[in-house]
């Protein structure tokens, strides 16, 4: 039953992403050109909602779907590693015209070339997993 719930939430999320035009290459291009507030509003809303959720989870007021307590593990500090990661993420976003969230939404909407980006994302994640221990901290 949980799988059906997860599938339903995923489909609903995909519909919202597509209908809000968060998966639109034009909207992303417009954002990077500082031509419209549209995407900044969507991202800002997600940051606010996510921050509120994280605070509730840290206080133990939110549990997972299975009823388990959600544990927040503090991340390592390191300005430059996050700066470099953000630059790489942003370049990938700009090149693909989509952040990782709506990739499957775009594939589901019939944008077949996005499959190349999905495959490259999976291969990049796999490569990072292989090289993770060898990278500088």
Q: What's the predicted TM-score (pTM) here?
A: 0.67
Distance CA 93, CA 37 (A): 18
User: Do 28 and 98 touch, CB atoms closer than 8 A?
Assistant: yes
Query: What's the pLDDT tens digit per position in 34-88?
Result: 988 998 999 899 999 999 988 888 887 777 777 788 888 888 787 888 898 889 8
Query: What's the pLDDT tens digit per position in 107-128?
Result: 888 889 889 989 998 998 999 8
End-to-end CA, the chain: 41
Distance CA 111, CA 7 (A): 21
């Amino acid at each position: 039953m949980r799988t059906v719930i997860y599938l339903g939430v995923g489909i609903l999320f995909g519909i919202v992403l597509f209908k809000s035009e968060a998966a639109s290459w034009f909207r992303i291009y417009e954002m990077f050109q500082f031509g419209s507030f549209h995407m900044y509003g969507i991202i800002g809303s997600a940051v606010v909602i996510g921050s509120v959720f994280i605070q509730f989870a840290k206080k133990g007021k939110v549990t997972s779907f299975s009823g388990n307590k959600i544990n927040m593990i503090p991340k390592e500090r390191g300005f430059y590693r996050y700066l470099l990661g953000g630059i790489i993420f942003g370049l990938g976003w700009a090149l693909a015209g989509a952040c990782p969230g709506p990739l499957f939404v775009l594939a589901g909407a019939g944008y077949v070339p996005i499959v190349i980006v999905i495959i490259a994302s999976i291969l990049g994640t796999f490569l990072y997993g292989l090289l993770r221990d060898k990278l500088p901290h």
